[in-house]
Structure 1
């Protein structure tokens, strides 16, 4: 279906509506955001002599909601300038404008009669053929569109975003009884390609997929927690990133989201689920009942499962609820033997297997909650989804899980887990036994390089649709596409004569094994392939260089080793730039320090929209020396045009590095100069590696040839040094920076100025690299720099000294 979306009207500007509006603005769409008209004047409006007829008053609710959203952290918008794409208004004066819009999204309060009333008004102004969708989290589609025209119903569906819409990947698509299948196909594709979402097709069942499974998992787990006598902090330590779930784990997540949200969904499900064999499990646990009755709903009320006490002296004290007494106590810092032993297990799948089988209370908790969830999900097919992969997609994308329920079941081994489940009183649905009896021992497997799932209706494996647009490392592994590897990096054949270098060190730090991987991958590509992609599927692209190794060498005063290490890293970054084949780097999430420098040297960057990129070495008492300082100075020189105020532009770049400024999105990275016009942005993470591969092939087809190293980089010498020195001195006098900060800044200024040159001069890239390395090396001999590195390595936080 060829449908172009240029203008979207969002009806309802609450927490979700305003943030959905921001995300459409993020992708370049013009948005009309409407909400109700106030019925009373505020005290401030009365003092100003305003009336209820003033436009400022009539649009007060929507304007305040949008401003609150734009001020919120994390920000719902990629760049504050994009807010200009949003026009506000109210549902009485401005509803007729929706006839000019391509898509109308309803995001008003979750009450059926209110939605039905609004849709009746919408139909009076909506142009036939216009998309009309609801962001409801659970009201049935067939009830909302009841009584509407055929055209309305044919173009109506549910589009359930998860909060916050910018960051959570899930978008559930729910057809109504008369929705045109072409509309569903369009929404599935648009959500994926343009909004960057994991679009999951849902049936019109209570709470759809993600909330049905996710809320069951939470409520059931709390019943188990109370039964085992576990504590809040203990559980959050067990249910976060250690098992591949969100950092906020269980109770912290509920406080952030708001306990009332979970309670409302659970209470509604218990009422409406007449045929759910486990509906009684949705009965609220004791702790949830007490907290809800006391209106201790989490962050929105100042206390929930956790409570932060702020003392007059500015100190803070964290309390947690005692699930037995329901009184607050000091937050615990539990030491769990199972987690201590699991620390050394880097592979998440191995760690999950280890923890679930551990013989202590934490293992008992994992077994009880995992087995119960597996059983529940097996009975939800075909009720909420015909295909099991949709459940995994929805839960993973909606709740931030690395692996969904059936994927976790595969990790533990389906056959042995079914036997263990029976012993624990959790018998799976009959179709699981039928699958095993037929000799099929997993829910997923890779066939001919494609991921397949077990299809219950046909009792066979089928390819998961849409994979042709994705390249996933797990699939490459399953298809045995690995062509080289060491302890920290692997090289895969992506197909079409393109290689992929993937690294998997702790925090994806760039140590010797990754440097070896980069050089090996480039050599292999130069010999037999069209090009190389550098990317990975870790939580972050790279947190930078291996500080532990540097700290060890610096502590032992092995400066020759440090010099060699920096030179090798610089040479490797230059090889990324100056190879015989195109190299495309695909950074996502954190790309800091060396991760940023590697990206800066690529022939092109294929960035994910969520990109936190920056040269942050100053924070550990150093300057960027993997070519980062050189590269930003080179970019400054190449961007100079007649009439530019050169010093102002150079100072801006200097300050970005000196203040360790990190982008909060790929769009902001453009403004900071880390991304250039030649670089591109992917919204859907699952598409990023495939997009990067396409970029490699495009560069190859255009007749790629190795660039020539630049020897005419203009540096300003004493002129810029004097400017930088004046700024540094002012910062010291104003007590904005320490003496050590000033020393680092002066080293950075010296490199970016090309040294103490008497006048503007043209220099080579190697000249700047040598200055970079010399400055970096000298700073590793500073005691205060070592103190900063020590604080990051051993305390996990930056030190200002």
Structure 2
């Protein structure tokens, strides 16, 4: 039976329930969100003369929860308009509506009696064959199955989302004891393909996979930090980006999640895992118990491991908790010699061997930490998973780790990991020693561009499932490389499609990247059918190499700078007017030049989590790689007879002038940075390059014809220029922008008006590019622009001077 999910019901509108409802709305599904009736009227409702029978009162709980979610930051929804896909109701008046949905998701409080009561109510109205899942993170599924009908049990599973559902990719699927295999398969596939998740099949064990390993890791650290005399800030320095973990690292993450939430899961693991060899680690250290007594729960209570205070001048300062005295003190910058050795090592996986060989306290920390992690995960097979890759997938998708435990072990070396464990008097699992004795020295290997994992029962490598829908650049780079320089690698994706992968620092667009793009187009036009520009770094590109621009401007090498900008512009125009189709595959931060490149591709296949915009005002210039020209052209293409053309142009002017950045790919359509009917959005980032390749191939095989350069761009001349200048003067007079902001805005106004032409005129793209480049160069001669660039280079933050 083929299933189509057109409508879902989410029962429970708390933080998780509202987040799940929003994410289904994100992907275009209609959602019915239900919650309990309020027990009594509020004072405000009494003042309005409302009664408990009024609909607005009866739906107050669900509506307030949903509105709170929609106002939260970061937003759970790709575009505020998508909230219209969610309808709300209560469990008394509207429960009968679930008969029309395709999937019912229960997200109520973690109490078995309440869940059973909700399931009993659901059974009265649910249409047989409808999927029914619970978002529980700890209640055994066989308890929830008790008393349910045969049809209910056949279609019942746990689908455990991680919070926030939009951003964390882990989707644990735990089938009920009587759940049909096709239901499990459907949920796994739907999670990957439609929800954009990493679907991980888990067993009905306490906390499943992600939280079992994740909470162990945090609890282990709680004990280790005291034993080693490390501070809160030092641990966060050691467990953050240097090892491929989020910036919030350990203690900041606990503050955000809430100490009470973590302790609830840890206590559950202690109670429900009597055979766990590391059970004692789930006991709370004394300092954690004191924090709980004091209600120092983290962000929700205003203080946890960190506390924000204001001094007498009103300046905010972050204090950290001293774990010995339990007083808050000024946070000192952590420094370790071992970490200094890794600064020049870009690949996180290459840092692990350096870190465990460290001669200072950091090296000791990593040796102890990784030894305990390896010892724990080896013993969880087959208890929580039959396959080791599922543990790695869960930690990467649920906790934001760049590398899972077995991948870290591989990076250090399997035998080195065994040595670390023995040094800490930790027993090595027999399956690991057997594997090494048989001559297998890694948990993973790559063959023909695919990842294979070591299967323990079969004692051989098996292909990791689900890869056919992905292109994994790390796996093909060594064998499919066509051309390379220090800024890019050009790879053959197969079927006549090339890929340009940026490998510069933060994927900035400097001379080497521009050279690589041109070379890739040369190669593709000669021997291939199409070109994709995509990478699998943290971000697509943070923009042009402003350090290079700064040096040229400071040295007053204006001819060289003019040549560099023109080369950038010409390269963007080659993206647009090459003989082969070009597809950009942006994701994450896609700023400045990265945005300009995307706008000049024939098609953009963007990850849903793409934060794209023209941000050049922040460094004192206008978009100089074709961005100003392109926004002018796109505005002109929207002009219609009898339209107020100035209003359309002004919107596009403000997109640049206010340095607007979309908070999702879907928002980028509202800014006309992505174009409706041409560009598309992919929810699962792992599928991005494969999808981009598919669209390049479709265009090529449909008979792609090299476009003709545009000479029909309508500019409005003095009419638009006058409007812009009046507006910017008013902004400066009102104190909304600085004198230098005014100068930048007026330069942009001149470009987007097409100069001071006496009347509306048709011009070429090259005409606008020349105006754009001239304005960009003139701003680079300004002292305040150089101050802005320098400030950005030093701090990573814009300067308003």
**RMSD of Structure 2 on Structure 1 (CA):** 1.0
Q: Which position in structure 1 is the counterpart of 2:565?
A: 566
Q: Name the CA distance, whole Å, in 2 between partners of 1:650 and 1:639.
A: 9
Partner of 1:516: 515
Equivalenced residues, count: 800
Asked if structure 1 preserves the Cα contact closer than 8 Å seen for 2:355 and 2:363, the reply is yes
Residue aligning to 1:390: 390
| Structure 1, 636-645 or 577-586: larger mean CA deviation | 636-645
The residue number in structure 1 matching 2:502 is 503
2:38 is aligned with 1:27: no
The 10-residue stretch of structure 1 (325-334 or 712-721) with the greater mean CA deviation from structure 2: 325-334
Residue number in structure 2 paired with 1:399: 399
Hey, what's the Cα distance between the residues in 1 that align with 2:403 and 2:721?
A: 53
User: CA offsets per residue over residues 569-616 of structure 1, 9 Å max, x none?
Assistant: 111111111111111010001000000000000010000001110000
- Segments of 5+ residues of structure 1 without an aligned counterpart are none
| 1:500 CA displacement | 1.0
Q: Is 2:591 aligned against 1:592?
A: yes
1:86 aligns with 2:86: yes
Following superposition of structure 1 onto structure 2, how do residues 195-594 of structure 1 map, counting pairs within 5 Å? 195-311=195-311, 313-477=313-477, 480-594=479-593
| Alpha-carbon distance in 2 for matches of 1:705, 1:386 | 51
Structure-2-length-normalised TM-score? 0.99
Deviations 1:506-547 (A, max 9, x none): 111101111111111111111111111111111110000001
Tell me the CA shift for residue 312 of structure 1. Answer: 6.7
CA drift at 1:730: 0.9
Give the distance between the partners of 1:456 and 1:483, measured in 2 at CA: 37
Secondary structure of residue in 2 paired with 1:566: helix
Hey, what's the Cα distance between the residues in 2 that align with 1:334 and 1:466? 41
Q: Distance in 2 between matches of 1:607 and 1:387?
A: 32
How far apart are the structure 1 equivalents of 2:140 and 2:743? Answer: 64
Distance in 2 separating the partners of 1:163 and 1:304 = 20
Tell me the secondary structure at the aligned position of residue 382 of structure 2. Answer: coil
Q: Give deviations 1:455-485, integer Å, cap 9, x for gaps.
A: 001000000011110001111135x111211
Alignment of 1:668-707 (within 5 A): 668-676=667-675, 677-707=677-707
Conserved 8 A contact 2:638-2:648: no
Shift in Å, 1:311: 4.9
Q: How many Å separate the matches in 2 of 1:529 and 1:629?
A: 31
Query: How far apart are the structure 1 equivalents of 2:275 and 2:672?
Result: 57
Deviation at 1:426, TM superposition (A): 2.5
The answer as to whether partners of 2:21 and 2:33 remain within 8 angstroms in 1 is yes
**SS of match in other structure, 2:171:** strand
Q: Is residue 105 from structure 1 mapped to residue 100 from structure 2 by the alignment?
A: no
Q: Any conservation in 1 of the 2:470–2:690 contact (CA below 8 Å)?
A: yes
Deviation at 1:756, TM superposition (A): 0.9
Q: 1:800, 1:92 → 2: CA distance? A: 55
- Please identify, of 309-318 and 159-168, the stretch whose mean Cα deviation from structure 2 is larger: 309-318
Which aligned pairs between 1:622-701 and structure 2 lie closer than 5 A?
622-676=621-675, 677-701=677-701
For 1:45-64, list aligned pairs within 5 A: 45-64=45-64
What secondary structure does 1:502 align onto? strand
Q: Specify the alignment match of 1:604 in structure 2.
A: 603
* Aligned counterparts of 2:448 and 2:648: Cα–Cα separation in 1: 53
- Deviation, 1:425, is 1.9
Contact preservation (8 Å) 2:374, 2:417: no
Give the deviation of 1:719 after TM superposition: 0.5
Cα offset for 1:292?
A: 1.3
Worse overlay, 17-26 or 488-497 = 488-497
Name the SS for the 2:214 alignment partner.
helix
Match of 2:133 in 1: 133
Hey, what's the Cα distance between the residues in 2 that align with 1:62 and 1:347?
46
Instruction: Report the Cα offset of residue 202 of structure 1.
Output: 0.5
- In the alignment, which residue of structure 1 is the partner of 2:149? 149
Matches within 5 A, 1:32-43: 32-43=32-43
Q: Distance in 2 between matches of 1:39 and 1:289?
A: 34
- Cα displacement (A) at 1:91: 0.8
2:414 and 2:617 mapped to 1: Cα distance?
50
After TM superposition, the score normalised by the length of structure 1 is 0.99
Range that drifts further, 182-191 or 481-490: 481-490
Could you tell me how far apart the structure 1 residues matched to 2:556 and 2:288 are? 57
Taking the aligned partners of 1:4 and 1:188, their CA distance within structure 2 comes to 14
Give me the whole-angstrom Cα distance separating, in 1, the residues matched to 2:588 and 2:439. Answer: 41
Q: CA deviation at 1:448?
A: 2.2
- Aligned-partner SS, 2:89: strand
The secondary structure found in structure 1 opposite 2:341 is helix
Alpha-carbon distance between aligned partners in 1 of 2:332 and 2:89, rounded to the nearest angstrom = 48
2 CA distance for matches of 1:455 and 1:630?
A: 55
CA offset digits 1:6-33 (Å, max 9, x no partner) = 1110000001001111111111111111
Quote the offset at 1:744 in angstroms: 0.2
CA drift of 1:705 comes to 1.3
Contact 2:389 2:453 in 1 (8 A): yes
For residue 342 of structure 1, give the secondary structure of its aligned residue in structure 2.
Answer: coil
Tell me, in whole angstroms, the C-alpha distance in 2 between the residues paired with 1:741 and 1:336: 42
**DSSP-derived class of the 2:173 partner:** strand
CA distance in 2, matches of 1:594, 1:427: 52
* SS class of match (2:731): helix
Alignment partners' CA distance in 1, 2:423 and 2:337: 25
Distance in 2 (CA, whole Å) between partners of 1:259 and 1:683 is: 31
SS at match of 1:108: coil
| Partner Cα separation in structure 2 for residue 580 and residue 672 of structure 1 | 28
Runs (4+) of structure 1 moved beyond 6 Å? Answer: none
Deviations 1:749-798 (A, max 9, x none): 00011111011111111111111110000000000000000110012211
The aligned residue for residue 781 of structure 2 is 781
Q: How far did 1:345 drift?
A: 1.6
1 CA distance for matches of 2:38 and 2:221?
Answer: 42
Which residue is 2:70 aligned to? 70
Do the aligned partners of 2:336 and 2:360 also contact (CA within 8 Å) in 1?
no
Shift of 1:74: 0.2
Contact 2:341–2:354 at 8 Å: present in 1 too?
no
- Give the Cα–Cα distance (whole angstroms) in 1 for the partners of residues 89 and 606 of structure 2: 35
Greater CA drift, 253-262 or 343-352: 343-352
The Cα shift of 1:352 comes to 2.5
- Give, in angstroms, the shift of residue 495 of structure 1: 1.3
Deviates most, 696-705 or 278-287: 278-287
